[in-house]
Structure 1
Amino acid sequence: MSAEELAASAKLSKEEKKARKEAKKLKKAEKAAKEAAVQEGIATEEVKEEVDQEEDESRATSVTVTEEPPKKKKKSKDAESSETPTSTAAPSESDNPLLSKKQQKKLAKASAAAAATSSAAAIPTPTVPTTFTAEHNTFLTSNNITLTPSIFPPLLSIRDLPINSKLQPFLNKFEKPTPIQACSWPALLRKKDVVGIAETGSGKTLAFGVPGINLLSQLPPVTGSKKGRGQVPGQIQMLVLAPTRELAQQSHEHLSAFGEQVGLKSVCIFGGVGKDGQAKELSQREARVVVGTPGRTLDLADSGELDLSSVSYLVLDEADRMLDAGFENDIRRIIAHTPGHKKGRQTVMFSATWPESVRRLASTFLNDPLRITVGSDELSANKRIEQVVEVLDNPRDKDFRLTHHLRAHLKAHPNSKASPTRILVFALYKKEAQRLEYTIRRAGYAVGALHGDMTQEARFKALEAFKTGQQNVLVATDVAARGLDIPDVGLVINVTFPLTTEDFVHRCGRTGRAGKTGKAVTFFTGENHEKSLAGEFMRVLRDVGAEIPKEMDRFPTTIKKKEHGSYGAFYKDTTNAPAPTKITFD
């Protein structure tokens, strides 16, 4: 190569460097202008067009420069800054010099973040009424609702919900909100912590799901790079904890269907299956919502495969049940993985009862919550459920009475696949469930089972067959008594009374859901544990106006109210004892 050619090449290289340097300054100015445009509420269409045009230009980076760029006179920094364009309009190809791949990635990332922020800003801030009217007071009184403190009036119409317009059509299929939904939504949309106490089947999933999904639709997704097998750091922004895998799967199904309206993905994690597949799903689905049981959630969080550092909406569903199952320490450790309420985390807790353990948990992790009580905060059954109690002297009579009720109910509903024909039969132990399944099948009924000895796949199949009407009878232990949302169960039969009256209430709660009526039949023998629960059982029946058989009078009517580790049960109440009379002497 001649000396003249070398000189020309060096000169060209020098001009290229100078052009690239000026291009960097130009891009910095454009980025600042775009951010200013977003803050001022300018539509994002121009920004998207710029990104698209710049991506087209980036494909030309491999083209070799063949023409010598024109010489430019040196200018002072002041002169250069005065000529820097401040308009957000996209420059033409002749004005945009080529950028490196690193610069292109940075520009694309900044543009995406600006677009997400602008899109979120376009959603109006929720506005809910703050003045109670006579209609609001009538609604609270008729549904026996207590608000503590009484700040936000209930939202009586779904169409008045101030949420993302893309979510509204999904909710319009419902006629009106349930009591717990009407009272929860105004507070949760204002980003206030809430404790909801309501019976099972009252619509609590949408009560916390609607505000949560609406909040995430306003937040930009977290961007970052994956670390190991886990998901993008900080990707999870909504966490729902449930006591059982069945309840977790139900909540996941509802939240997935609702979140799809705004492009949100959900992942369900629970024990009983390998965690590697769930960890892989977390990393591949780009989910922003996780629904899980405490044990598996803590396992994945401790191993670093589930990052909860950006959770802004935390839900503890069926909190009393999780505490009864011994998950309190797991819950506390999981919450420690999330940001505190001072960093913006909103916490929601739902429970069927309000015992001391739930109060203690709420006081620790919720920030000045609004407490919504639908009905009583004591254990109470659903008043829409017809309660039938049969006191049996001989436990062997249970099989005969069971087949009698099955035959009578199915005869009243001849369509085998109609939803009211679904019958849920509860047993106390796994062996009893297996025996009852065999007895019912031998009587000629299509029956499935649900208990702890079954594999997860077999449980899925049994539930699906029951939901679709392929099998209209399902035998289950108490593992299925809490949280299962099977539409239109017509009859619940308690073959053996559960170990607690709480479990009795939640067994019966599988019917009469979502404002519908139902029926529950309970066989009571007074054997073993049943005798000590007779008083509390009668109290629950009396509170809902159910008829108490005279045969129950032979059982103790006392109720153990309080218990101390050192003193034991030291206060009792009687259910139907006569009031004490004062004895006087003449």
Structure 2
Amino acid sequence: MKFADIGLSDELLKAVTEAGYDTPTPIQAQAIPSVLMMKDIIGIAQTGTGKTASFVLPMIDILAHGRSRARMPRSLILEPTRELAAQVAENFEKYGKYHKLNMALLIGGVSMGDQLAALEKGVDVLIATPGRLMDLFGRGKIMLNGCSLLVIDEADRMLDMGFIPDIEEICTKLPAQRQTLLFSATMPPVIKKLADKFLSNPKLIEVARPATASANITQWLVKVESRKKRDTLRNLLRADDVTNAIIFCNRKTTVRELNKSLQQNGFSSGEIHGDIDQGARIAELERFKNGTVKILVASDVAARGLDIKGVSHVFNFDAPWHPDDYVHRIGRTGRAGATGVAYTFVTAEDAEALDNIQKLIGTKIPYAPLPGAGEGNEGAQSDERSAAKPARGRGRRKAADDAPAAVEKAEKVEAKAPGRSAYAPRQANVEAPEPAPRKPEPKAAAPARAPRNDDGPDDGWNGPVPSFLQFGIDA
């Protein structure tokens, strides 16, 4: 099947051909005709299958007829991150260059003035993140009652980022009679409930089993101690045939520190995470796309939907906390039929996360051979640990063997010291006999008190002695 066989306009076919495509992917072949027939769609497809074009292309033809009005977009596309929203906008520019459609991009991190100016002119396609859209809606700067087509993209990522309540509120602001398209890599119960509530008799299109990794990606585990992660990563970057790579970390601080470490060791690397403003993030992605930097250290803002061609390797420097994120991270390589390699570093603390990942993808990930090692690093490290344990065990046994002799010696010394208290601490390692306990020195005798004479003054009296008491009475 060719794009010419699925009902697209001549202008759109021309743009698609100029972009270098002539054959639709499976999800495009199934979704585009149904969208053109104005049906609601639930599309379940793993990342890298071309699902963005499966809604962008038919939307361009649907919106080709009609007129936009100020602050009333005709269609709305919701994206979880700024990068995904910007990428969808690029697709509209590329495929819609022969159509006179107005587009606006509502994302955080950039000036709101330019976005408001675009809305005032009227837009056919509004691409937005939920946060910025709700902000402008609350200010009365945008009306959604003229929106006849809604696309919820990366719905499972919306769930992870806590956007589901915002999406539900946005859906209540839209016309009841509308076309709704929902795309997701997985279909957890919350997303299923959302689809049942806001989609009308949708057509389910599933081109791959949910949460499966592409067969084009070779997956490896690397068992490593936390303090040796950086050394192992550098060895793999040097030893493996790495054209370019994305390295994923769980924390923004780890992204910054790892990027700095790589640069100090001579690697051409950059970083992207949520604390970087939108302009810098876009610039860093462009540097990576054009080959200025070969390695991109990233948090999960780059895990979904980013279509960067030619990524040869993905490294999970930290095993992802959520198993779904594993599928999306490694999906940055092995795209559009190309092959890729994905390494995941695992420590002893990652056992549960690794188990959840392997349960989700339904396969056991093998351990990679370390550079210079002839067998899997799991076996190599196990051998190291087993070789180390007997040495530690011999040390403990030697100490245990020596202890009874020391105690016996101490008891003999104790027997020679009958004055020793039964509660005195016993020393296990005795090298010399303990000195006999010192005999307590006799206390100095208290001065004897002079016998009290009945006719003498009382010892406690310290006043003047009456004169009549100074005369004795002879018997």
Paired residues for 1:225-264 under 5 Å? 232-234=70-72, 236-264=73-101
The alpha-carbon deviation at position 269 of structure 1 amounts to 0.8
Seq. identity, %: 39
Contact residue 71 and residue 120 of structure 2 kept, 8 A = no
1:538 aligns with 2:358: yes
1:458 aligns with 2:280: yes
Amino acid at match of 1:471: V
Cα distance in 2 between the residues matched to 1:516 and 1:407 = 22
Cα distance in 1 between the residues matched to 2:28 and 2:52 = 9
Cα distance in 1 between the residues matched to 2:91 and 2:321 = 31
Contact residue 450 and residue 475 of structure 1 kept, 8 A = yes
1:402 aligns with 2:263: no
1:131-181 Cα shifts (integer Å, max 9, x gaps): xxxxxxxxxxxxxxxxxxxxxxxxx22121322221111122313111111
Equivalent residue, structure 1, for 2:41: 194
Paired residues for 1:126-205 under 5 Å? 156-172=1-17, 173-205=20-52
For structure 1, the residue ranges without an aligned partner over 5 or more in a row are 1-155, 224-231, 414-420, 555-586
Q: CA RMSD in A?
A: 2.0
Amino acid at match of 2:104: V
Equivalent residue, structure 1, for 2:112: 275
Amino acid at match of 1:348: L
Amino acid at match of 1:215: I
1:362 aligns with 2:198: no
Paired residues for 1:66-81 under 5 Å? none
Aligned partner of residue 240 in structure 1, secondary structure: strand
Amino acid at match of 1:336: T
Cα distance in 1 between the residues matched to 2:131 and 2:60 = 24
Equivalent residue, structure 2, for 1:440: 262
Contact residue 301 and residue 334 of structure 1 kept, 8 A = no
Determine which structure has greater relative contact order: mean sequence separation of CA pairs < 8 Å that are 6+ residues apart, divided by chain length.
2
The alpha-carbon deviation at position 305 of structure 1 amounts to 1.4
The alpha-carbon deviation at position 541 of structure 1 amounts to 5.7
Amino acid at match of 2:286: E
Contact residue 180 and residue 372 of structure 1 kept, 8 A = yes
1:287 aligns with 2:119: no
Equivalent residue, structure 2, for 1:576: none
For structure 2, the residue ranges without an aligned partner over 5 or more in a row are 369-375, 382-475
Give TM-score, length-normalised by structure 1.
0.61
The alpha-carbon deviation at position 531 of structure 1 amounts to 2.4
Contact residue 229 and residue 317 of structure 2 kept, 8 A = yes
The alpha-carbon deviation at position 276 of structure 1 amounts to 2.9
Aligned partner of residue 298 in structure 1, secondary structure: helix
Aligned partner of residue 496 in structure 1, secondary structure: coil
1:476 aligns with 2:298: yes
Amino acid at match of 1:440: L
Equivalent residue, structure 1, for 2:320: 498
Contact residue 541 and residue 547 of structure 1 kept, 8 A = no
Equivalent residue, structure 1, for 2:57: 210
The alpha-carbon deviation at position 548 of structure 1 amounts to 5.4
Equivalent residue, structure 2, for 1:371: 204
The alpha-carbon deviation at position 526 of structure 1 amounts to 2.5
1:306 aligns with 2:142: yes
Contact residue 256 and residue 265 of structure 1 kept, 8 A = no
Candidates 214, 220, 234, aligned match of 1:382: 214
The alpha-carbon deviation at position 247 of structure 1 amounts to 0.5
1:20-59 Cα shifts (integer Å, max 9, x gaps): xxxxxxxxxxxxxxxxxxxxxxxxxxxxxxxxxxxxxxxx
Contact residue 298 and residue 333 of structure 1 kept, 8 A = no
Amino acid at match of 1:359: K
The alpha-carbon deviation at position 535 of structure 1 amounts to 1.9
Cα distance in 1 between the residues matched to 2:143 and 2:358 = 47
Aligned partner of residue 214 in structure 1, secondary structure: helix
The alpha-carbon deviation at position 314 of structure 1 amounts to 0.8
Candidates 342, 349, 374, aligned match of 1:520: 342
Equivalent residue, structure 2, for 1:316: 152
Equivalent residue, structure 2, for 1:221: 67
Equivalent residue, structure 1, for 2:366: 547
1:536-575 Cα shifts (integer Å, max 9, x gaps): 22334653x74357849x9xxxxxxxxxxxxxxxxxxxxx
Larger radius of gyration: 2
Cα distance in 1 between the residues matched to 2:101 and 2:94 = 9
